[in-house]
Structure 1
Amino acid sequence: MTAQVTAVGGLQRRMRVQRVILGVLAGLVGVLFLLPAIWMLLGSLRPGGEIIGSVSPLSWNTLIPDVWTLDNYAALFGPLRFGQAMMNSLIVAFASVVLGLVITIPAAYALSVFRFPGRELVFAALVVGFMIPFEAIAIPLAQIFTQWHLDNTYIGLILPGIGNGLAIFNLRQFFLGVPGELHEAARVDGASELRTMTQVYLPLSVTPVINSALLIFLAQWSAYLWPLLVVSDEKIQVAAIALSRTFSDTSFNFGQMFGGALVISVVPAVLLLVLQRYFTQSVATKGLK
Structure 2
Amino acid sequence: MSTTKTLGASRRKTLGYFALSILGACIGLLFLLPLWWTFVNSLRPGGDTFRYLNPLQWETFFTLTPTLDNYAALLNSDLGLATWNSILVSAVTVIFGLVICSMAAFALSAIPFRGHNIVFIVVVVSFLIPFDAIAIPLADLFRDWNLQNTYAGLILPGLGNGMAIFLLRTFFLAIPKDLVEAGRLDGLGWWGIFRRIYLPLSVPSLIGAGLTLFLFQWHSYVWPLLNGTDPQHVLGPIALSNLQGQFNVDYGVMFAGSIVLTLIPLAIIIGFQRYFIQSVTTTGLK
TM-score after normalising by structure 1: 0.91
2:231 corresponds to: 234
1:222 corresponds to: 219
Is the contact between residue 55 and residue 62 of structure 1 (CA under 8 Å) also seen in structure 2? Answer: no
Report the CA distance shift for 1:113/1:52 in structure 2 as closer, same or farther (over 3 A). same
Pairwise CA distance, 1:267: 1.5
* Structure 1 SS opposite 2:49: helix
What is the alpha-carbon distance in structure 2 between the residues aligned to residue 4 and residue 247 of structure 1? Answer: 69
What is the alpha-carbon distance in structure 2 between the residues aligned to residue 236 and residue 53 of structure 1? Answer: 37
Pairwise CA distance, 1:211: 0.9
Report the CA distance shift for 1:13/1:105 in structure 2 as closer, same or farther (over 3 A). closer
* Structure 2 SS opposite 1:52: coil
2:182 corresponds to: 185
- AA in 2 matched with 1:29: I
What is the alpha-carbon distance in structure 1 between the residues aligned to residue 192 and residue 17 of structure 2? Answer: 52
Report the CA distance shift for 1:115/1:240 in structure 2 as closer, same or farther (over 3 A). same
What is the alpha-carbon distance in structure 1 between the residues aligned to residue 53 and residue 139 of structure 2? Answer: 40
1:277 corresponds to: 274
2:48 corresponds to: 50
2:67 corresponds to: 69
Pairwise CA distance, 1:20: 4.6
Report the CA distance shift for 1:261/1:185 in structure 2 as closer, same or farther (over 3 A). same
* Structure 1 SS opposite 2:248: coil
Is the contact between residue 208 and residue 280 of structure 2 (CA under 8 Å) also seen in structure 1? Answer: no
1:108 to 101, 105, 108: 105
What is the alpha-carbon distance in structure 1 between the residues aligned to residue 16 and residue 255 of structure 2? Answer: 39
Matches within 5 A, 1:1-289: 17-56=15-54, 58-65=56-63, 67-78=65-76, 80-283=77-280, 285=282, 289=286
What is the alpha-carbon distance in structure 1 between the residues aligned to residue 179 and residue 140 of structure 2? Answer: 46
- AA in 1 matched with 2:116: R
- AA in 1 matched with 2:119: V
Which sections of structure 1, spanning at least 5 residues, go unmatched? none
Pairwise CA distance, 1:81: 2.6
Instruction: Return 161-170 or 18-27, whichever deviates more.
Output: 18-27
What is the alpha-carbon distance in structure 2 between the residues aligned to residue 154 and residue 235 of structure 1? Answer: 10
- AA in 1 matched with 2:69: D
Aligned-pair RMSD on alpha carbons?
A: 2.2
Is the contact between residue 171 and residue 284 of structure 2 (CA under 8 Å) also seen in structure 1? Answer: no
Post-superposition CA distance 1:202-236 (Å, at most 9, x none): 11111111111111111000000000001121122
Greater C-alpha radius of gyration: 1
Instruction: Return 39-48 or 12-21, whichever deviates more.
Output: 12-21
* Structure 1 SS opposite 2:149: coil
- AA in 2 matched with 1:211: G
Which sections of structure 2, spanning at least 5 residues, go unmatched? none
Report the CA distance shift for 1:284/1:116 in structure 2 as closer, same or farther (over 3 A). closer
What is the alpha-carbon distance in structure 2 between the residues aligned to residue 30 and residue 163 of structure 1? Answer: 33
Pairwise CA distance, 1:16: 5.3
- AA in 2 matched with 1:33: F
Report the CA distance shift for 1:190/1:48 in structure 2 as closer, same or farther (over 3 A). same
Report the CA distance shift for 1:21/1:181 in structure 2 as closer, same or farther (over 3 A). closer
Is the contact between residue 208 and residue 279 of structure 2 (CA under 8 Å) also seen in structure 1? Answer: no
- AA in 1 matched with 2:132: E
Report the CA distance shift for 1:130/1:68 in structure 2 as closer, same or farther (over 3 A). same
Report the CA distance shift for 1:176/1:60 in structure 2 as closer, same or farther (over 3 A). same
Report the CA distance shift for 1:249/1:114 in structure 2 as closer, same or farther (over 3 A). same
* Structure 1 SS opposite 2:26: helix
Report the CA distance shift for 1:246/1:55 in structure 2 as closer, same or farther (over 3 A). farther
Instruction: Return 222-231 or 114-123, whichever deviates more.
Output: 114-123
Post-superposition CA distance 1:163-202 (Å, at most 9, x none): 1011111111111222222212212211121111000111
